[in-house]
Amino acid sequence: MFYASCMYGMPVDEYEINGVVTDKSLTPIKDIRIINERDTFYTDPWGRYVINSWYNGNLVRLQVDDIDGVTNGGLFKSQEVLVQFTEADIVQKAKGNKRGNKFVKTQNIKLIKENINIPMYGAPVAPFEPIFVP
């Protein structure tokens, strides 16, 4: 990305992370929020996502959250995913610099459902705990 190099006076690496977010049975999950250090992304109706950004380093942290409750077939636990880039992920090598490379990596993400109680009216509730009044 041109603006980052100009702003900070040094080349930075560009990266693309793509993949599919699924449940444990490999069913794609739409509308899952994925946050990296700078931006927010969402999965499409087939659970796919693509992140294009820049970074100075080889490790990118993604925060993955189900933000629509039970709409997508259940409430899924939030998850932190660490994506590490290696020399094998370089698709375009920088000329004469250690930085300025273009990396591409596929990172599929499998989410686990939360265990919640859902009454027949559809709103999640906490498990029943009796209250004793003396």
CA dist., res. 74 & res. 77, Å (int): 10
| pLDDT at 1 (0 to 100) | 40
Question: Which single residue is written with the structure tokens 């109680």?
Answer: 117
In the predicted structure, residue 124 carries a pLDDT above the cut 90: no
| pLDDT at 134 (0 to 100) | 57
Query: Between 2.60.40.1120, 3.30.413.10, 3.30.470.10, 1.10.3720.10, what CATH number should domain 2-110 receive?
Result: 2.60.40.1120
**Higher pLDDT pick, 11 / 131:** 11
Spans of all domains in the chain: 2-110
| pLDDT at 53 (0 to 100) | 87
| pLDDT at 122 (0 to 100) | 55
Instruction: Summarize the confidence of residues 22-37 as an average pLDDT.
Output: 93
Cβ atoms 75, 52 nearer than 8 A: no
CB atoms near residue 98 (< 10 Å): 8
**What pTM, to 2 d.p., does this model score?**
0.74
Q: What is the pLDDT of residues 73-88, one digit of tens each?
A: 788 999 999 999 888 9
User: Hey, which of 43-47, 66-70, 100-104 has the most confident mean pLDDT?
Assistant: 43-47
Q: Considering only CA atoms, which of 27, 53, 56, 23 is closest in space to residue 40?
A: 53
DSSP H stretches of helix in the chain: 2-8
